[in-house]
Amino acid sequence: MENQKKFVENELADMAQRMKRKVLDMAYHAGKNGAHLGGALSCIEILAVLYGSVAGVQAQNPCAESRDKVLIGKAHCVLAYYTALYEAGFISEEDLDSFEKNGSDFVGHPLKNIEKGIEYAGGSLGMALSVACGMAYRAKHKGNGSRVYVLLGDGECQEGSVWEAMMFAANYELDNLVIIIDNNGIQSDGTTAEVAGMRDLKGKFHEFGGEVVEVDGHDINALKEAFGTEHARKPLVLIAHTIKGKGVSFMENQASWHHSVLNEEQYHKAKSEIEGI
């Protein structure tokens, strides 16, 4: 924790801004392979706050016993994830530039690589929360103060295994576990309400025994405050209300941008919108 760079608000905003630029560059350079843009842009601020401020990750000592761990369930958000790891000093610019190139370790879903800060190979939805529970249980058992953060998609919460794990987290009082839901309301085929009848996520997580807080997932200050919520003897669940494709007009709230190819014209338009030009 001591080595952790603590960003002030502006620095976190700057970090998020750099991440967005990089996300668009990477998606554009991925060419015909396309990339998961919508769900990356929805969790930029969440990951910026986590990696830039809240989580005690240690790029200089990635295997430190007492490190906090960040697991990504909705790991199709790799564009945001890799750029956050870059900002936190885990991965290099070359790593980022190798995105979706044959032979690269940085493909469409992350490969486990502790040295690079990737604690878990996410990508199969519904799996990460159980693994996070196991890690949180062990950290509590060891008593080393390590915390476990896990980012899930709201669509991901349609997986039954999420609720198996949530029951466990509450039953074993995993108060060193923080679950962040990137609640952008949209999945591959449409809205979460239309496709799967997702309704009151807050109520669901509350009933399953979590300390639930709703927060604007694009508001850095609000996120920081939400992460600080007391959650004695309970896992903390942050339902971060976000916009899929945030910041790019033609992507916002469009299911079609869940995974898509960015052409040159779109790239330049997106870039200028992100820069507020």
Q: Is the alpha carbon torsion for 85, 219, 41, 97 positive or negative?
A: negative
CB of 79 to other proteins, least distance (A): 21
CB of 159 to other proteins, least distance (A): 9
Comparison of 28 and 208: residue with beta carbon closer to other proteins: 208
CB of 144 to other proteins, least distance (A): 10
Distance CA 148, CA 115 (A): 17
CB of 255 to other proteins, least distance (A): 25
Comparison of 52 and 56: residue with beta carbon closer to other proteins: 56
Comparison of 44 and 132: residue with beta carbon closer to other proteins: 132
Comparison of 117 and 217: residue with beta carbon closer to other proteins: 117
User: Is there a contact between 10 and 64 (Cβ–Cβ < 8 Å)?
Assistant: no
Comparison of 129 and 215: residue with beta carbon closer to other proteins: 129
Q: Token pair for residue 229?
A: 């919520």
CB of 156 to other proteins, least distance (A): 14
Distance CA 69, CA 220 (A): 20
Distance CA 277, CA 274 (A): 8
* Cα atoms in the 13 Å half-sphere on the side-chain side of 114: 8
CB of 165 to other proteins, least distance (A): 5
CB of 67 to other proteins, least distance (A): 10
Binding site for other proteins (CB under 8 A): 69, 112, 119-121, 124, 126-127, 129-139, 141, 160-161, 164-165, 167-168, 171-172
H or E element that contains 18: helix 9-29
Comparison of 111 and 193: residue with beta carbon closer to other proteins: 111
90's CB contacts (< 8 A; 6+ apart) are 57, 59, 62, 116, 117, 118
Q: Token pair for residue 174?
A: 């995993």
CB atoms within 10 A of CB 30: 18
| Residue position matching structure tokens 């604007």 | 216
Annotate 149-161 with DSSP letters as a single string.
EEEEETGGGGSHH
Comparison of 45 and 175: residue with beta carbon closer to other proteins: 175
